[in-house]
Amino acid sequence: MIEIEGLRVERDGTPILHDLSLALPAGGITALIGPNGAGKSTLLLTLAGLIGPAAGRVRLDGDDLHALRPQARALRLAFLGQDQAQVSRLTVREMVGFGRWPHHRGRPGAVDRAAVAEALEVFGLGALAERPVSSLSGGQRQRTQIAMAHAQATPLVLLDEPLSALDPRYAREVMEALVAMAHDPVTPRSVVVVLHDLGMAARYADRVVAMKHGRLAAAGPRREVMRDAVLSDLFDTGLKLREVEGADVVLPA
Amino acid sequence: MAERRLILLGLALALGCTAFLLWNLRVPMGFILSLRATKLAALVIVGAATGAATVLFQTVAGNRLITPGIVGFDALFVFLQTMLVLTLGGAGYATLPTLPAFLVETACLAGAGVALFGLLLRRGAGDLIRLVLSGLILGVMLRGLSGFAQRLLEPSEFAVVQQASFASFGAVDATQLAIAAPILGLALALAWRLSPRLDLALLGRDKAITLGLDFDRFVLGVLALIAVMVAVSTALVGPVTFLGLLAAALAHALLRQPRHAALLPAAAGLGALILVSGQFLFERLLGFQSTLAVIVEFLGGLVFLALVLRKAAR
């Protein structure tokens, strides 16, 4: 469970998040939504431990997240940011294998190799496993990065706009893989994901956190947050949520 | 595949060393062999340390175009040499006890190197143009200061600075070598032990941290290691700006894979091979003296230009 208390975050002296308090229960998919500049990515970077708070505190299962050493944190949360590493000549299997680093510290064993093989399978990368990452398309690279986060096998997974380079087919497959991760009957994970595609949030998220101007606009179960008035107010434009052939979609009002 | 190429490289280096030692060997063999062995040891350890240090530097800086020399380390060396001669005088500098002088000079260079690299990487890492420009400007500043200080020297003192400011493999002190060799050997072994963490660092700061690497502390440690390696090498033979770049670029081309467990030995072996084979070619076969450093700088400079232009073309 993540508990955020009075969080204030500054970047280059400019306040980005203001007095944010929020509790995210364990399990399920939490979508972070909001207009550009709302502070979603900054919040995710803070939750990943990459930015320290100017004030307030973030607790992960009761522990101060920013007091944890990187090694301990890496066993508890995986992070996929918008800036992705480009290492020429590294194969897809090797890249995904880096996800196992917190577990093996440079000496991979059979368990690690099996976890990598499973991640490659889940994200449809088996046929590309020996290809250099630099030779892949943007979408394939994105899936490689998500597979790396999957292989890290942490109880919490943070993803910042993971669908940005994906076509509709792979975007749906990735979201379904995230749902499977979140609702795995044996080892369910908490997935926190920044989404710009409100349709994806409406369809797949269990909870939604809406942010605007660095503050919390609304948070709660998807149905409670993704209402016409909340969405319209959040994006300063008319939006409505409607059910089309059994699926929720967001349309211009 | 990488293992086979490393073995071939090792064989080539062994062949080069053997040729360097035994080619055209005349009486008194023992004396000549001992002279050649000292020079060979200096060539091998300086080449190996410079090649490996450059790979380390490129990894923590996040780009393959820079070397410690390019971002101002060589200018720092000349500045320290000038200051030493200015404060001690030419005669005082020349009569410094070899071992303490070498150790003090190495310590000063290593300390200043950590400060220099730390400053540049903290402010400019990830931004190649800013990093190189900052290094160049710092270098120009230090050279300007050295130039100013050199105007205050007597001509004989100036000659001492000049002699110390250029790489020379011909007059390596055996006592200094006996100190430098184990330090550099240890540093190379330590660098190799860091290989898995260096691989992780290739992913960049944020990714490495979220995968469990205490990145800033690790980079500081690697910078200290680089500073020691470059400082010891430079204090031993003088600055060779582009040797590391040449060795690192060839190592990448040879192995075509980014793993440091193979890349570091390859860069070290190639650095040693370039110096040994180059010295053998120019000294033994062509009969030239003091040409190797110039040729290495020329070829290294060409490689640097080619890499910059190739990157610009992409």
Of A42, A39, A34, the residue nearest A236 (C-alpha): A34
pLDDT at residue B300, rounded to an integer: 78
Distances (CA, A) of B78 to B67, B112, B206, B209, B254: 17, 13, 36, 37, 33
What ranges in chain B are assigned the alpha helix state H?
2-22, 29-61, 74-94, 98-124, 128-151, 155-164, 174-193, 195-201, 205-210, 215-237, 243-255, 260-279, 292-313
Average predicted confidence (pLDDT) for chain B: 85
Pairwise CB contact (< 8 Å): A49 & B209 = yes
- Token pair for B139: 């270098």
Give A-chain residues touching B199 at CB under 8 angstroms: 98, 106
Q: What percent of chain A has pLDDT over 90?
A: 72
Write the pLDDT tens digit of every residue in A101-136: 999 998 999 999 999 999 999 888 999 999 999 888
For A47, the closest chain B residue by CA position comes to: B210
The domain spans of chain B are: 2-313
With a cut of 90, say whether residue A77 has pLDDT above it: yes
Q: Which of A74, A84, A90 sits opposite B211 (nearest CB)?
A: A74
Q: What ipTM does the predicted assembly reach?
A: 0.90
CA B196 to CA A100: how far, in whole Å?
A: 12
Q: Helix, strand or coil for residue A23?
A: strand
Per the structure block, which two tokens stand in for A236?
């300063």
The kind and range of the H/E element at B95 are none
Contacts of A45 in chain B (CB under 8 A): 206
**A chain contacts of residue B210, beta-carbon cutoff 8 Å:** 48-50, 70, 73-74, 77-79
Phi, psi dihedral angles at B200 (to 5 degrees) = -65, -40
The mean pLDDT value for A22-38 works out to 94
List pLDDT tens digits, range B256-285: 888 999 999 999 999 999 999 988 888 777
Average pLDDT (B237-245) is 83
Tell me the C-alpha distance between B304 and B244, whole Å: 11
- Asked whether B41 and B177 are in contact (CB, 8 A), the reply is yes
What part of A 82-141 touches B (C-beta under 8 Å)?
83-85, 87-90, 98-99, 101-102, 105-107
Closest residue in A to B204 (Cα) is: A85
- The pLDDT of B120-128, averaged and rounded, is 60
Cβ-Cβ contacts under 8 Å, A69 against chain B: 214
Whether residue A59 has pLDDT greater than 80: yes
Query: Where residue B129 falls among pLDDT bands split at 50, 70, 90?
Result: low
Contacts of A77 in chain B (CB under 8 A): 210
Using the predicted structure, report yes or no on whether residue A150 has a pLDDT greater than 90.
yes
Q: Do B212 and A73 touch (CB under 8 A)?
A: yes
Mean pLDDT of B98-107: 82
So what's the architecture of B2-313 in CATH? Orthogonal Bundle (1.10)
Q: Is the pLDDT of residue B126 over 70?
A: no
- Residue B122's pLDDT is 67
Instruction: Name A17's bridge partners.
Output: A9
Name the closest residue on chain A to residue B257, using Cα atoms.
A89
Contacts of A132 (CB under 8 A, 6+ apart): A88, A89, A90, A91, A92
May I ask the CATH architecture of the domain A1-72+194-253?
Answer: 3-Layer(aba) Sandwich (3.40)
